[in-house]
Chains A and B, each alone.
Chain A
Amino acid sequence: MLSMALFTIGIVGVLTRRNAIIIFMCIELMLNAVNLLLVAFSKMHHLQLLSTNAAAGSEGQLFVFFIMVVAAAEVAVGLAIIVMMYRNIHSVDINFLNRLKN
């Protein structure tokens, strides 16, 4: 429930904001919502299957670590791209992104 709310906030943020950094933060919010949900599901499956398999549900938590690693890599690249953009046009407003259209 909470993670769905977080995810929705993330999506709405991405779709409405115009500042590249804030959009970027909203994307991170989406990823963290997914992490939260994964842990919740992992706990749920663990409790369901505890009698047959003591390690049930550990996959979900494993996935969370991979998402964290990938998100960190994405942050590194993304911030570099935003900085590169800022150096050229001195703004991080995505309204500048319309030049390619014509």
Chain B
Amino acid sequence: MNALLISAVMGVLMMFSSFMLKSKSAVRNVALAGMFLILVANILDTYGWHLFNIPTEGMMHFDRFSLFFNSIAFACTFIFFLLSARDMEKVGINYAEYFSLIFFILCGIVLVASFQSLLILFLGIEIISIPLYILTGSDKRNLKSNEASLKYFLLGSFSTGIMLMGITLLYGHAGSFDITVLIKAGEKPSSLAIAGLLMLLFAMAFKVSAAPFHFWTPDVYDGAPTVFTSFMATIVKAAAFIGFMRLFSTAFYSLHDQWQMVIAIITALTLLIGNITAVFQQSIKRMLAYSSISQAGFMMLALFALNGTATEGLFLYVAAYSLATIGVFAVLIKMKDYTFEGFNGFARHHPFLAAVNTVFLLSLAGIPLTAGFLAKFYMLKAAVEAGGFLWLVIFAVLMAAVSVYYYFRVIQAMYFKEGDAPVSMEVSRPFQWVLGVLAFLIILLGVFPNALLYWFYF
């Protein structure tokens, strides 16, 4: 609750700061301070220090699951601000408004992570989506950005329509939007409930860009300004997954048999399409878009399994994936040329950046000693424990092997190819420090995953 209210207030405050504060660095500092405040408030909330006492019974439920995820998301956003806030200046003139929109998105993330009524889920998803449409199109003169924004908007609101239809059909079946009522109603499923469940499943699959509904992802991620792609591909996607997980582990748990097969097929398709298409990409930005689809496939394994390991694994995966992807994007933003050739000889000119970038890419590929490896391991373990679908696990391992190819192409370009790797702007010292800390965190989580998971229980 703390975080929700503070981030809403921060959003409004940032809008005012656009004309109250003259210099951009002042705006940036306000945003950073606000982000830090939200993170601290959320951690206080976790340990019983509620700054506001508002009854949200039947609408939202702030349990450990949601509060812990919020902390991860806020920490990632804080790191994102530290790394990339300076680069937002290049997108357009409305510098403070971009921050304000991001704070509003964070409100939506809190709602999605802690909903108890489908109404709040719907509101949360919309509060995330609508500012994202704007951020995608924020580069107003750039035709690619326009196209991406329009495409995202049309497909996004179409999927919202489908989702609303699903919610309505479930309401027709159960007579309530409350997920505790839905669990009981699910024990005697009717055709209405199944149809509603499937529609909701498809709409959520769209939001997390799972396979048959992934068409928008590469175009939107490619067209959006790179700073915002970094935010969209990590924190927002993670939030959508947490909402998905919360929905299916509570409301639809009693219908488990009906949807498990569907989820298994979606997972396999997502892994296949994401990984195979990523191999053929020339632009690293587009490759990262496809890689985010394939990583979504791995996160779908948690949804498929839905046991204790899956919950822990999802948190670890979300943290590992977000940190690594934010890092890779932060380096990518500094480059002039987004193709693989643009990275030729990068290691010679910027040895430190190349080294941390390698750590991020290794983590995404799932090489041992990085967080990505353990995250993938937890996912596969959860899927094996769920039982019965061994082919899916074997398939996921094969696809992880494929993914090594395209991540290593970047490393190969950085270290083993000749070139001058043009960088479009200078790299400041604090930026390097933050990247170094990020890489350290990833290795730390890869060696001691309990450093993160411990906080889930205590």
- Whether chains A and B associate is yes
Residues of A whose CB lies within 8 Å of any CB of B are 7, 10-11, 14, 20, 23-24, 27, 30-31, 33-34, 37-38, 41, 44-45, 48-49, 56-57, 59-60, 62-63, 66-67, 70, 73-74, 77-78, 80-82, 84-85, 88-89, 94, 96-97, 99-101
How many angstroms from the CA of A40 to the CA of B44 in the assembled complex?
A: 44
State whether A27 touches B154 (Cβ < 8 A): yes
Identify A70's interface contact among B126, B144, B150, B177, CB under 8 A.
Answer: B126
Residues of B within 8 A of A74 (CB): 126, 130, 157, 160
A41 touches B171 (CB 8 A): yes
Distance in angstroms between the alpha carbons of A44 and B157 in the assembled complex: 28
Give the residues in chain A near B177, CB-CB below 8 Å. Answer: 59, 63
Min CB distance A60 to B, Å, is 6
Expressed in whole angstroms, the minimum distance between the Cβ of B130 and any Cβ of chain A is: 5
> 4 shortest A-B CB distances, which residue pairs?
A30-B161, A41-B172, A100-B219, A34-B164
Q: What would 15 more interface pairs be, CB under 8 Å, given A49-B175, A89-B143, A97-B151?
A: A11-B161, A14-B158, A20-B150, A20-B154, A27-B158, A33-B165, A34-B165, A37-B165, A48-B175, A73-B130, A74-B130, A77-B133, A81-B153, A84-B146, A101-B219
A88 to B154, CA, bound (A): 18
In the bound complex, CA of A97 to CA of B162 (Å): 23
Per a CB cutoff under 8 Å, which of B130, B137, B150, B157 touches A97? B150
The interface residues of chain B lying within 8 Å CB-to-CB of A33 are: 165
Classify chain B: how many residues form its interface, as a range.
35 or more
Residues of A within 8 A of B157 (CB): 24, 27, 74, 78
Q: Are B146 and A85 in contact (CB under 8 A)?
A: yes
A57-B161 in contact (CB<8A):
no
A59-B170 Cα distance, complex, nearest whole Å: 13
- Quick check: is B294 within 8 A (CB to CB) of the other chain? no
Contact of A100 with B148 in the complex, beta carbons under 8 Å: yes
Residues on A with beta carbons closer than 8 Å to the beta carbon of B153:
77-78, 81
Residues on B with beta carbons closer than 8 Å to the beta carbon of A7: 161, 165
Q: Is the CB of A41 within 8 A of B168?
A: yes
Which residues of B sit under 8 angstroms from A27, Cβ to Cβ?
154, 157-158, 161
Shortest Cβ gap from B126 to chain A (Å): 5
By a CB distance below 8 angstroms, the chain A residues around B143 are 88-89, 99
Nearest CB in chain A: distance from B357 CB, A: 26
> Which one of B126, B149, B168 contacts A37 once the chains associate, using CB atoms below 8 Å?
B168
Shortest CB-to-CB span from A59 to chain B, Å, is 6
A-B contact count (CB 8 A): 113
Instruction: Report the minimal beta-carbon distance from A21 to chain B, rounded to whole angstroms.
Output: 11
Some 15 contacts from A to B, beta carbons below 8 A apart, are: A7-B161, A14-B154, A23-B154, A30-B158, A31-B164, A34-B164, A34-B165, A41-B172, A70-B130, A73-B126, A73-B130, A77-B133, A82-B150, A85-B146, A101-B219
Within the assembled complex, what's the spacing in Å between the Cα atoms of A73 and B161? Answer: 14
Residue contact A67 to B149, C-beta cutoff 8 Å = no
Say yes or no: B158 contacts A85, CB within 8 Å.
no
Closest chain A residue to B165, Cβ basis: A34
Question: Which residues of chain B (154-194) have a CB below 8 Å from chain A?
Answer: 154, 157-158, 160-162, 164-165, 167-168, 171-172, 175-177
Q: For residue B432, give the distance in angstroms from its CB to the closest CB of chain A.
A: 33
For B140, B147, B177, the residue with the greatest tally of chain A CB atoms inside 10 Å of its CB is: B147
| In the complex with contacts A14-B158, A34-B161, A81-B150, A100-B168 CB distance below 8 A | no
Which B residues are CB-close (under 8 A) to A37?
165, 168, 172
Q: Can you name the residue of chain A whose Cβ is closest to the Cβ of B119?
A: A63
Contacts of A89 in B (CB 8 A): 143, 146
Are B119 and A66 in contact, with the CB atoms below 8 A? yes
Residue B377, interface by CB 8 Å: no
Contacts of A80 in B (CB 8 A): 134
* CA A45 to CA B176, docked complex, whole Å: 9
* A59 / chain B contacts, CB cutoff of 8 Å: 119, 171, 176-177
Give the distance to chain A from B242, nearest Cβ to Cβ, in Å: 21
The reply to whether B164 and A67 contact each other, CB–CB distance below 8 Å, is: yes
- A66 near B123 with CB under 8 A, answer yes
Known: A7-B165, A30-B165, A81-B149. A100 touches B144 (CB 8 A): yes
| Closest chain A residue, CB of each to CB of B129 | A74
Please measure, in the bound complex, the distance between the C-alpha atom of A100 and the C-alpha atom of B176, giving whole angstroms.
43
Are A24 and B154 touching (Cβ within 8 A)?
yes
State in angstroms the CA–CA spacing of A7 and B169 once bound together: 13
List residues of chain A with CB within 8 A of the CB of B162.
30
**CB-defined contacts of B167 to chain A, threshold 8 Å:** 63
Residue contact A57 to B158, C-beta cutoff 8 Å:
no
Q: Once bound together, how far apart are the Cα atoms of A101 and B168, in whole Å?
A: 36
A63 to B188, CA, bound (A): 25
Listed residue (B126, B140, B144, B223) with the most chain A CB atoms within 10 angstroms of its CB: B126
**Which residues of chain A are within 8 angstroms of B171 by Cβ–Cβ distance?**
38, 41, 59-60, 63
Contact A97 B161 (CB under 8 A): no
Shortest Cβ distance from B133 into A: residue: A77
